Structure 1
Amino acid sequence: MKNLTKAYYCFPELNSSCTKDFRSPIGYFIMYTFFLSVSVSTVFLNLLVIISISHFKLLHTPTNLFILSLSVADLLVGLLVMPVESIKLIETCWYLGDSFCYIFPYITFVVVLVSMNNIVFISIDRYIAVCDPLRYTLSVTPGKSALCVCLNWCASLVCALLVLQDHLLYPESHRTCHGECLLIIQLPWIVFDLIVSFAITCSIVIGLNVKIFCTAKHQAQVISAFTARVKAGCANRMIDKSNSKATKTIGILVTVYLLSYMYMPYYVCVTFQGTFTSASLVANSLVWILYMNSCMNPIIYALFYPWFKASAKHIITLAILDSGSSYYKVYSELS
């Protein structure tokens, strides 16, 4: 009876210990297997993107720099945030210490914000490429892209600090027992996060994608009319290739447009509740939608690009260990 009583507490030796929920062995196995699979997949896919862009010289472009920043943020989600959140959700106790409890929400907010903001920069990059291609090389340079990436990370650090200032300054005020790591965000900061992190981000992405779609549609009509007048086979092949690339670009951007709505349930829910608490089952479920997005991002922003298939093949087969592999023509290998 004594052992049974101890088993219901996170820290049986402490009188102020939180209670612990029990699950069946099968339940533990299924939940750990699922969350481990998601975490490993997120790390693996984003690691492929990071290695590809970092290793192959031809992939050192302004566009891919944004994708690299996105993958680094999503890698941290899969490597750190997902495992910790899954253990907390399954065990219903916090065993990682008070200090990490204070800093972990801040790390989570930063990497999620960076991931979301990178979607904006990628959309802006594609907007300039489609709507103003003649000035693209002048408007978008590696230096400007690197500056935008740095500003993104710095702004996310500051924004997360503002939203979580109450949690960071007064961490003990929300804890009711030992073994609990509770995050509570009040309504004013929820509204601030809603406007800065969601409303502005989503509006920019949707607006740019609508403009891109309209421009691409007009360009497709022009190309189609021109194709009808062209008889040379060589010219026809060039136009078909342009059409193919335009179609792939539109597909990726439309996916981004749809992807932005994955954040809506979370923000709508916490706004109507008036507060966010990490103890809420609904809040935890919606937060995991945000985390799952980090697994989808490399699929959307990398697997749809032809160079990723070639570079991933070289990485998996360890061909990148060969001297001079960084100069492989990953673009032309699939053309």
Structure 2
Amino acid sequence: APPAQPAPAAPPAPAAPAAPIPFAAAPASLTASAARIPRTLSNVLDTLHAVRGGSPDLTAALADITRSANPWVSPDGWVGELWSGLSFQREIVPLLTHAPLAHWQITGWRWVNKPTVGDYAGDKAEVHTNLPTTESVSVEAARLAGAHDIDRKFFDFNDAEFIRAYFAAMTESYAMQSDAKAAAFVLASATAAGDAPDLLRAVARGARSVKQKSRAKATYALVNDVDMESLLDFTKLDVPEFLGLLGIEPDKFVQTSQVPAGTVIVGAKPAATFYELGGSPIRVETVNLAHGGRDAGVFGYYATLLHNANGIAKVTYTPPVTA
């Protein structure tokens, strides 16, 4: 016979309902300010208007967060090195013959009295003769240099922009200094060629002197930069049409503050040479271990050689009075 089945279990009795949680009662001493609670539509509109307009009564309790008190939270926009003018380009050195400097001293020679010829009668008569003489000329190279002890962090963190800007500024300084040296050399080498009544005639007289004494055509004219303004005083009727024949073409004029006012320097390019060591200015770097730095700088070498003083003329004139 099959085993007897157990009787089904009785269903659980329903749980008794939970007792309601009573609301907390406010202490009798706690009261609300009726003036702070808008009670009408007019009160609500007045409150919204005050919030929108920034009522001092509503914002006085807020703490200020200003940009000036927290400048580090939004850094300024970085634009790098600022523009400080175009890089300087040499103006005087290109006017002279340029040659590489191969030795610290340059030696050459030139004629003091050149050999000459003369009339000859023939028939075994004595021919013309003279006493030629020469002289030795030597110049020693001069130097231009500058250096600084730079914190090595600029190199360790590869601050390429600063390093590039530093050497660019040093190279520009070398260009300015070497050009000033060339101008001083030309000015000191010029031969006096008289006076003239104005700027144009001063240049013409200087070009004539160069042509007569060295048989070379003038290739440049150095004029004081303020005196150049006197060219504005000349009208078209005052300027002759044959300026080129007088050697005073406008493209030969180079204005520079190195030349004193009332002075014009007219020269021929072959009359002088500006020697310069290749690669100048030479970039040099070395480690300054004791001070955690890196010494950086530039070195340049140059020499100026005058071939013929007659190829550079100096003419003075009375410059006009400027307002």
Instruction: Give the structure with the larger strand fraction.
Output: 2
TM-score tier (shorter): under 0.3
* Bigger-Rg structure (1/2): 2
Q: TM-score, normalised by structure 2?
A: 0.25
Instruction: Give the structure with the larger helix fraction.
Output: 1
Q: TM-score, normalised by structure 1?
A: 0.24
